[in-house]
Chain A
């Protein structure tokens, strides 16, 4: 899992962020604006008279709202992420934790390297999935982790057990299958043909 160092102990490398950090916390207004505002309110006096309904104005307002709304809807449909707050749009997807295999598992460095190569592609595909799908994947990686830990503990008692070694290999295979399924489905036919 990658993390972005930030905070008092990790000053940002970005010079723009560094300059932002140097800005004063409080900014006093150049002058007291309230007396002038209060005077303007007092000048308002009585409530304005209710005006008669005017069709041309209502029609123009309706067309204006329709045009603006249609334009806004069109822009949302074309680029929904751009319309959202920048912080939300750029928020990283919740990450996942690959299965860690214990000392008795016998999973080789070459096998882990093969998995890590697949993880590079999986990480990109994972970030684009729906939240509920990401959650299901996270939960099942935790299930596989619990199984790997359980098998590892059993292998500590019975290192020669072919059954346990087979189960460990099966768990490793299931993990790779999960990554592979997401990557191939996300990429569609472009990778398969």
Chain B
């Protein structure tokens, strides 16, 4: 071995050995009630939660940094998990904390992250999931689901249950499919794509992002969609029995059924469209400032 090779080998050994020593793997378990609340907080990395058929919470935490500390507090009704860095300094440190949990199916989940992704599968209890830049993905059953991310995407997949789903994004995209019941959502520049069966209530708004909804409306459904400059597209599954109240300050209104839109004033570029389709009953209100509005039944 030459001197050069010896130095090289030493440098490689140092680079590999030191970070490996900093990593922590921690496993925690607690017996809980079937509908216990599980609160999780993480900064960067991931939070993965899956339901199982035990009244028990299991956590496997992989902390890449030895500066991170894991807090795990458990009682019968509540489990609280938090990854904390006492000095609060992350800076350019990309070390992650990856939390994998198994919880009872009926658990209530509250998860909060900064850049960590959140994914939840099979949990039938109420969910409140919030991230700043991480993605959020979950399944909706019958309990309410609130999912939000500032710049990450939000995906909610329904299972045919009658869940009340709410999504909030700033620049990320919300995608909601297979949900029955109600959907509320807000977005700034991101988009909302939703497919809802037997919709009772749809309330969506955006600043500049587009909103596209495919919905089957119940006889008493109430739909409100609003955007400043985004495009609103509503496709209603026939037969359509609804009262439509559509207005745009300067955007176009397109409809593949019913009458044509008319100008609201000879002084402003606005247009509106009010009519009853079929027997009426459901109520649809769409509004934009400059964004285009499109409704259709196919």
Contact A181 B10 (CB under 8 A): no
Contact B39 A193 (CB under 8 A): yes
Q: Which of A15-23, A27-35, A39-47, A161-169 participates in binding chain B?
A: A161-169
Complex alpha-carbon distance, A186 and B82, angstroms? 12
* CB < 8 Å neighbour of A65 from B11, B22, B43, B114: B11
Complex alpha-carbon distance, A65 and B289, angstroms? 66
Contact A80 B92 (CB under 8 A): yes
Q: Separation in Å of the A126 CB from the closest CB of chain B? A: 10
Complex alpha-carbon distance, A178 and B205, angstroms? 14
Q: Is the interface of A mostly helix, strand, loop or mixed?
A: helix
Q: Within 8 Å CB of B67, what residues of A?
A: 77-78
**A61-B10, A150-B289, A170-B205 known; A185 vs B130 contact (CB < 8 Å):** yes
* CB < 8 Å neighbour of B226 from A133, A139, A166: A166
**A69-B14, A167-B228 known; A158 vs B268 contact (CB < 8 Å):** yes
**Is B110 an interface residue when CB atoms closer than 8 A count as contact?**
yes
Q: Within 8 Å CB of B268, what residues of A?
A: 157-158
* CB < 8 Å neighbour of A150 from B2, B115, B228: B228
- How many residues of chain A get a CB closer than 8 Å to chain B's CBs? 62
Q: Separation in Å of the A102 CB from the closest CB of chain B? A: 14
Q: Considering residues B7, B132, B229, which has the most beta carbons from chain A within 10 angstroms of its beta carbon?
A: B132
CB within 8 Å of A: which of B115-156?
115, 130-133, 148, 150-151
CB within 8 Å of A: which of B227-241?
228-229
Q: Within 8 Å CB of B205, what residues of A?
A: 170, 174
Complex alpha-carbon distance, A71 and B168, angstroms? 45
**Is B55 an interface residue when CB atoms closer than 8 A count as contact?**
no
Q: Closest B-chain residue to A133, C-beta based?
A: B133
Complex alpha-carbon distance, A69 and B15, angstroms? 7
Encode B206-218 as 1/0 by CB contact (under 8 A) with A.
0110000000000
- How many residues of chain B get a CB closer than 8 Å to chain A's CBs? 65
Contact A66 B10 (CB under 8 A): yes
Encode A71-82 as 1/0 by CB contact (under 8 A) with B.
001100111110
Q: Separation in Å of the B222 CB from the closest CB of chain A? A: 16
Q: Separation in Å of the B13 CB from the closest CB of chain A? A: 5
**Is A107 an interface residue when CB atoms closer than 8 A count as contact?**
no
Contact A171 B228 (CB under 8 A): yes
**Is A147 an interface residue when CB atoms closer than 8 A count as contact?**
yes
Q: Within 8 Å CB of A78, what residues of B?
A: 66-67
Contact B114 A185 (CB under 8 A): yes
Q: Considering residues B90, B228, B268, B270, which has the most beta carbons from chain A within 10 angstroms of its beta carbon?
A: B228
Contact A143 B66 (CB under 8 A): no
Contact B15 A167 (CB under 8 A): no
**A132-B133, A133-B133 known; A161 vs B114 contact (CB < 8 Å):** no
**Is A130 an interface residue when CB atoms closer than 8 A count as contact?**
yes
**A132-B133, A185-B131 known; A137 vs B150 contact (CB < 8 Å):** yes
Contact B171 A139 (CB under 8 A): yes
Contact B91 A80 (CB under 8 A): yes
Encode A99-122 as 1/0 by CB contact (under 8 A) with B.
000000000000000000000000
Contact B3 A181 (CB under 8 A): no
**A65-B10, A70-B14, A143-B189 known; A177 vs B168 contact (CB < 8 Å):** yes
Q: Separation in Å of the B245 CB from the closest CB of chain A? A: 11
**Is B200 an interface residue when CB atoms closer than 8 A count as contact?**
no
**Is B112 an interface residue when CB atoms closer than 8 A count as contact?**
yes
Selected A-B contacts with CB under 8 Å, 15 pairs: A61-B6, A61-B10, A69-B15, A69-B18, A89-B91, A128-B88, A129-B133, A133-B133, A147-B289, A158-B268, A163-B249, A170-B186, A181-B148, A184-B112, A185-B113
Which B residues have a C-beta under 8 Å from some C-beta of A?
1-3, 6-7, 9-11, 13-15, 17-19, 22, 39, 41, 43, 65-67, 80, 82, 84, 87-93, 95, 110, 112-115, 130-133, 148, 150-151, 168, 170-171, 186, 188-189, 205, 207-208, 226, 228-229, 247, 249-250, 267-268, 270, 287, 289-290
Which A residues have a C-beta under 8 Å from some C-beta of B?
53, 57-59, 61-70, 73-74, 77-81, 84, 89, 128-130, 132-133, 136-137, 139-140, 143-144, 146-147, 150-151, 154, 157-158, 161, 163-164, 166-167, 170-171, 173-174, 177-178, 181-182, 184-186, 188-190, 192-193
Closest 8 CB pairs of A and B: A69-B14, A62-B10, A73-B18, A188-B41, A58-B6, A65-B10, A136-B151, A133-B133
